């Protein structure tokens, strides 16, 4: 479980000894140094709502501090490995062949009128089945669903649903 970030204990004690005006100025300085409103609010004794601390920060002038503001702890102790200098290679996915695009559009227009109760031998049902066969074949050859949908003139979501049901 991630440990919650808190202000250092000596800073918390220092804040508890300040009067209200000095406390608001110090909170503003902490916020300007990068401490989050939630961390500051939870570190106060008693803790305050984040909205209250936000109000104080917005309505208090920035004043130079005699005591140095504690630095924010690092977010992570892990070190990222440098990326290799090898070039990134990507395979180019095939697109929809130009000779298939008009047929896809024609079939999509007809299959938009297909309903579950449509007779199986109607042109709408046949167009619906043929569109599914062609789209599935293209998808299995590596053509992205978005490219098939664009060629057919339908939404990506409609084509993705058709391909997932095939």
For the stretch 38-59, pLDDT in tens is 999 998 888 889 999 999 999 9
pLDDT at 1: 42
86, pLDDT greater than 80: no
Cβ atoms within 10 Å of 70's Cβ, excluding its own: 14
Six token digits for residue 99: 């000779």
Categorize the per-residue pLDDT at 94 as very low, low, confident or very high, splitting at 50, 70 and 90.
Answer: confident
Distance, CA of 8 to CA of 148 (rounded, Å): 58
pLDDT tens per residue, range 59-83: 988 888 888 888 887 665 555 555 5
Distance, CA of 135 to CA of 145 (rounded, Å): 8
In the chain, what percentage of residues exceed pLDDT 70?
87
Distance, CA of 25 to CA of 60 (rounded, Å): 6
**Residue 145 contacts residue 93 (beta carbons within 8 Å):** no
The SS3 assignment for 84 reads coil
Which of 164, 114, 131, 148 is CA-nearest to residue 156? 148
Domain boundaries, the chain: 1-72, 101-165
pLDDT tens per residue, range 5-32: 788 899 989 989 989 889 999 999 999 8
DSSP state for residue 46 in the 8-state scheme: S
Angle at 62 between CA 57 and CA 63, to 5 degrees: 130
Start-to-end C-alpha separation, the chain: 43
pLDDT at 121: 94
pLDDT at 7: 87
115, pLDDT greater than 70: yes
pLDDT tens per residue, range 133-155: 999 999 999 999 999 999 999 99
Categorize the per-residue pLDDT at 98 as very low, low, confident or very high, splitting at 50, 70 and 90.
Answer: very high
Give the mean pLDDT of the chain. Answer: 87
Q: Which helix (H) or strand (E) holds 20?
A: helix 20-32
**Residue 43 contacts residue 50 (beta carbons within 8 Å):** no
């Amino acid at each position: 479980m991630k440990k919650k970030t808190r202000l250092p204990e000596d800073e918390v004690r220092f804040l508890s000894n300040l009067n209200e005006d000095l406390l608001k100025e110090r909170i503003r300085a902490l916020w300007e140094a990068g401490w989050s409103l939630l961390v500051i609010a939870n570190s106060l004794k008693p803790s305050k709502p984040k909205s209250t601390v936000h109000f104080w920060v917005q309505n208090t002038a920035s004043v130079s501090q005699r005591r140095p503001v504690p630095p924010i702890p690092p977010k992570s102790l892990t070190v990222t490995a440098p990326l290799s200098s090898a070039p990134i290679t990507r395979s180019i996915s095939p697109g929809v062949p130009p000779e298939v695009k008009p047929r896809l559009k024609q079939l999509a227009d007809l299959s938009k009128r297909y309903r579950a109760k449509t007779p199986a031998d109607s042109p709408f049902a046949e167009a619906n089945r043929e569109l599914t066969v062609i789209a599935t074949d293209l998808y299995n050859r590596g053509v992205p669903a978005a490219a098939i949908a664009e060629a057919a003139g339908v939404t990506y979501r409609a084509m993705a649903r058709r391909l997932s049901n095939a």
